[in-house]
Amino acid sequence: MKKIFNIIIGGVGGQGAITVGKILAEAAFLEKKEIKMSELHGLSQRGGSVNVHLRIGEDMYSPLVGKEKADLILILEKNETFSNIDFISKSGETIFLINDFIIPSPASQNVKFENEEIKNLLKDFSKNVFIVPASKIAQEKFGNEAVSGVILISFAAFKNLLPIKPTSIYKAIKKVIPKKYLELNLKAFNFAKTI
Amino acid sequence: MKKVLLGNEAIVEGALEAGVQFISTYPGTPASEIGDIFYKKFKRQNSKNRDNLYFEYSTNEKTALEAAIGASFSGLKTLVAMKNFGLNVCLDALGPFLYTGSKGPIVIIGADDPNCHSSAQWEENIRAISYLTHIPTLEPSDPQECKDFVKFAFQLSEKFRIPVLIRTTTRVAHQSMAVEINDKLQITNSKKSLEGEFIKNPYQFATMPPRVLEMKKELLEKIAKIQKFSEKSSINKLTTKNSKLKVGIITSGVSYLYVKESLKELKLDLPILKLGFFYPLPENKIKNFIKNLAKVLIVEELDPYLEKEIKGLAKDSNPKLQIFGKNLFPEVGELNQDLVSFAITKITNKNLGIENYKLPVNLNFPLKNFDRKISRRSPAFCPGCPYWSIFGAIKQAVKPEKVVFGGDIGCYMLAGFPPISLQDYLLCMGSSIGIAHGISKSSDAKVIAFIGDATFFHSGIPALINTIFNKSNPLIIVMDNRTTAMTGQQPDPGAPDKQTGIKIENIIKACGVKYLKIIDPVKNFDGFIKTVKDFIKKDEVSVIIARHPCAQLKLKEKK
């Protein structure tokens, strides 16, 4: 593994980008790795573009991922994919994991991406683009859109897209998610194995 | 034991470890979590819990600081937390408080927001307040330091009997990392009550001439002592390297982390002086640091306060020193490691093989084609938010081009964005009414001023009184969603939890407003439109209280 693994989590305020970041941070912490995370709160919660920076590894200082330095760009809402383009590494090794889900907004009405178009646009920059219908699964299988983030990170762990073991993600979910929603999230975690 | 903590969580941890007894705050991003954590611990507002700690959300930052001053005068260990703009609100009390000094140790948290992520009315730099009031000021870089600096600040306050300011920024307050905590900490103390005692001492607590000028002298003497103390304090950290380049860096706060990251990336070892104290500065330490350097880079966000100080100090100790700072860094917006790398390579570019380091931001990467694809999503009201109804009704009731719309601080300022676009001015808490009055007096314009319930209590009331006292005729719409919504649904005086709130309508009636209606804009949409149409014609001030709970509040209660 590289000494530092940089993650950008992009999405729309209210989707749970911070919770997803917290689970990953706790999971890395359980594996005795150092973490640095930077998040934004406040009015951007209300449906604006948000991103969370998470760095896992050792010998790190900045809470921000440097430009062109992301190892994984995790996108919770498809239209947000290109808002985080500055972080793609030139090496072509940045992994994209995108939720196949759109939240309509006045700003994005004229931009609706087909999955093929996204893959096509990204192909020169990233060899690893995964588009997963996490929200669809969340709604259909679990009746709750909120677990889509857990599905995505669990998928990432099972597919080795992250330097974190699935068991650590499992333990971190237990630590971060409130009791009331825990069972649902653990089910979502287990389901991600089958994707 | 270590635990992953947010900067603000680490501040709470530090305060608890220091034995804090009295906590007051007004919510504001990026400082809100500090109060929220105490609130959760206590389960409710303004109660002493079994741990003998007192916590309150105050009406505004001035009452929060004043409450804290009272606690300190009574001998309690006290914490006050607020965002940058809050310090402006309480400045009137803060200045004299430095003259009286503290009795119980007191730490004030002030949170700046370079880049205006959430504090979007101006890119304030509260370092100016350190100079203005002579308040000792510390700048932590990360959550571990947030905790350590709070404990240090309490000691400093106790030793010198002076309030201490900790200045965080968004990237410190909302940064997470594993922090060493005392897991054996027992908050419960054996004492039965808070045990504060106000012992009369007007000589210390009353600022009046002729004593006041003596007090100023005493303050300046204290600061001179603290400066001496700061010279020896390890909170100002020096990492000396044998630099053949004779290039050094002076920095503080989160900028230090960007410097360390950048030096690692560039594989450079340069001496760094990291200042824990912003005020007073350890001047001799700085002079010694720059004495043998050829170049020094000052890395700080926003205005060049350190740079100006260091330019002054260099005149004595090293007049030939080349000082770099804002000639390489922007004064607008926040810094990051890429900007720091750019500056470091600019001044050390010889023989390093990195002379062509460029800012990576889209300049050397063909991403321009993507510009069209980048979604610029503005925040919007939540589904089920009563403000949709209010602004929808306004659009039906009046012709927007014929009316001036005054915005204020709260979720409703999103009305400035399309598709609503009903906001002709927006400045600060309470100002929708205050400015509406001035416009009404100066022109024929009819003004509708929007203000939330928490903001009305915070600073809308004096402005309302002014419209009556000086006879103007705005239509004021109090957007009463029963909570301080924007910062995370904290209780406000109109809607405290488990208690009866102060009725806004009673305040308005007591002011002598003749035209007042309370309408639920969701349930009685048509009635709301009708009342706006009616009230807009009045030649004196009128008020509609649009009362319907925040959608998030309802969700929270369900949880």
* CATH number, position B488: 3.40.50.970
B41 and B188 assigned to the same domain: yes
How much is the pLDDT for B366?
Answer: 46
Backbone angles phi, psi at B227, to 5 degrees: -60, -45
Q: Are A8 and A74 in contact (CB under 8 A)?
A: yes
How much is the pLDDT for A65?
Answer: 96
pTM for the structure as a whole: 0.95
Work out the minimum CA distance from A106 to partner chain B, whole angstroms. 8
d(CA B212, CA B207): 5
Helices (H) and strands (E) in chain B, counts: 21, 20
Chain B contact for A8, CB < 8 A? no
B299 and B420 assigned to the same domain: no
For the domain that residue A55 is a member of, what is the CATH number? 3.40.920.10
B224 and B258 assigned to the same domain: no
B524: three-class secondary structure by DSSP: coil
Q: Which residues of B touch A39 (CB under 8 A)?
A: 6, 174, 176
B201 and B245 assigned to the same domain: no
Instruction: For Cα atoms A129, A131, A132, give the angle at the middle one, nearest 5 degrees.
Output: 140
Query: Is B370 within the bounds of a domain?
Result: no
Tally Cβ neighbours within 10 Å of residue B236: 19
Chain A, 101 to 120: residues with Cβ < 8 Å from chain B are 105-108, 111, 113
Q: Which residues of B touch A48 (CB under 8 A)?
A: 377-380
Which chain B residue shows the shortest CA-CA distance from A108? B375
CB contact under 8 A, A61 and B419: no
B259 and B224 assigned to the same domain: no
Work out the minimum CA distance from A159 to partner chain B, whole angstroms. 26
How much is the pLDDT for B184?
Answer: 75
Q: Are B515 and B538 in contact (CB under 8 A)?
A: yes
How much is the pLDDT for A1?
Answer: 47
How much is the pLDDT for B559?
Answer: 61
Chain B, 96 to 135: residues with Cβ < 8 Å from chain A are 117-118, 120
Each of the 195 residues of chain A gets a pLDDT tens digit; together they read 468 999 999 999 889 999 999 999 999 999 999 999 999 876 656 778 889 999 999 999 999 999 889 999 999 999 888 888 889 887 888 999 999 999 887 655 556 678 888 888 888 788 899 999 999 999 999 999 999 999 999 999 999 999 999 999 999 999 999 999 999 999 999 999 999
B242 and B224 assigned to the same domain: no
Q: Are B74 and B508 in contact (CB under 8 A)?
A: no
Query: Is B323 within the bounds of a domain?
Result: yes
d(CA B250, CA B554): 49
CB contact under 8 A, A37 and B176: yes
B95 and B124 assigned to the same domain: yes
B212 and B251 assigned to the same domain: no
How much is the pLDDT for B369?
Answer: 52
d(CA B440, CA B442): 6
B205 and B253 assigned to the same domain: no
How much is the pLDDT for B51?
Answer: 59
How much is the pLDDT for B370?
Answer: 56
Query: Is B29 within the bounds of a domain?
Result: yes
Q: Which residues of A touch B556 (CB under 8 A)?
A: none
B183 and B331 assigned to the same domain: no
* Strands lying side by side in the sheet with B515-519: B403-406, B446-452, B475-480, B542-547, B515-519
d(CA B444, CA B433): 16
d(CA B108, CA B358): 40
Helix axes B337-348, B254-266, angle to 10 degrees: 60
Domain end among B320, B348, B376: B348
- DSSP string across B119-135: --S----THHHHHHHT-
Closest CA to B321 of B377, B248, B427, B385: B248
Which chain A residue shows the shortest CA-CA distance from B171? A38
For the domain that residue B276 is a member of, what is the CATH number? 3.40.50.920
- DSSP string across chain A: --SEEEEEEEEETTS-HHHHHHHHHHHHHHTT-EEEEE---SGGGTTSEEEEEEEEESS---SSPPTT-BSEEEESSGGGGGGGGGGB-TTS--EEEEE------GGGTT----HHHHHHHHTTT-SEEEEE-HHHHHHHHHS-GGGHHHHHHHHHHHTT-SSS-HHHHHHHHHHHS-HHHHHHHHHHHHHHTT-
Tell me the C-alpha to C-alpha distance, in Å, between residue B376 and each of B94, B147, B323, B367: 40, 36, 39, 16
B390: three-class secondary structure by DSSP: helix
CB contact under 8 A, A38 and B171: yes
Q: Which residues of A touch B261 (CB under 8 A)?
A: 60-62, 66
Closest by Cβ to A106, choosing from B261, B360, B419: B419
Query: Is B315 within the bounds of a domain?
Result: yes
d(CA A5, CA A162): 8
Residue from B2, B118, B176 to probe the interface with A (highest A Cβ count within 10 Å): B176
How much is the pLDDT for B355?
Answer: 45
Q: Which residues of B touch A67 (CB under 8 A)?
A: 336, 338, 359-361
CB contact under 8 A, A25 and B362: no
Task: Report residues of chain B scoring pLDDT below 70.
Answer: 42-51, 186-193, 242-243, 350-376, 498, 558-559
Domain range for residue A56? 4-192
CB contact under 8 A, A46 and B258: no
Residue from A60, A61, A84 to probe the interface with B (highest B Cβ count within 10 Å): A61
How much is the pLDDT for B242?
Answer: 65
Tens-place pLDDT, residues A100-112? 999 887 655 556 6
Q: Which residues of B touch A13 (CB under 8 A)?
A: 379
Residues 6+ apart with CB under 8 A from B209: none
B224 and B242 assigned to the same domain: no
Domain range for residue B323? 237-348
Chain B contact for A45, CB < 8 A? yes
How much is the pLDDT for B377?
Answer: 79
Closest CA to B117 of B381, B337, B334, B417: B334
B368: three-class secondary structure by DSSP: helix
Beta strand B322-324 with B295-299 is parallel
d(CA B117, CA B354): 33
CB contact under 8 A, A61 and B411: no
Tens-place pLDDT, residues A124-138? 788 899 999 999 999
Closest by Cβ to A40, choosing from B174, B257, B487: B174
Which chain A residue shows the shortest CA-CA distance from B30? A41
d(CA B195, CA B52): 9
The pair of structure tokens assigned to A174 is 């237990």
Which chain B residue shows the shortest CA-CA distance from A179? B559
Query: Is B353 within the bounds of a domain?
Result: no
Domains in chain A, number:
1
d(CA B7, CA B278): 19
Domains in chain B, number:
3
B77: three-class secondary structure by DSSP: coil
CB contact under 8 A, A61 and B30: no
CB contact under 8 A, A62 and B337: yes
Query: Is B481 within the bounds of a domain?
Result: yes
Work out the minimum CA distance from B112 to partner chain A, whole angstroms. 13
- Which position has the token pair 């009563």? B386
d(CA B529, CA B120): 31
CB contact under 8 A, B374 and A83: yes
Q: How many CB pairs under 8 A join A and B?
A: 159
B322: three-class secondary structure by DSSP: strand
How much is the pLDDT for B350?
Answer: 47
Phi-psi region of B333 (alpha: psi -120 to 50; beta: other; left: phi over 0): left
d(CA B118, CA B112): 10
Backbone angles phi, psi at B161, to 5 degrees: 55, 55
CB contact under 8 A, A38 and B261: no
d(CA A187, CA A173): 11
Number of residues that this document lists for chain B: 559
B243 and B223 assigned to the same domain: no
CB contact under 8 A, A178 and B486: no
Query: Is B378 within the bounds of a domain?
Result: no
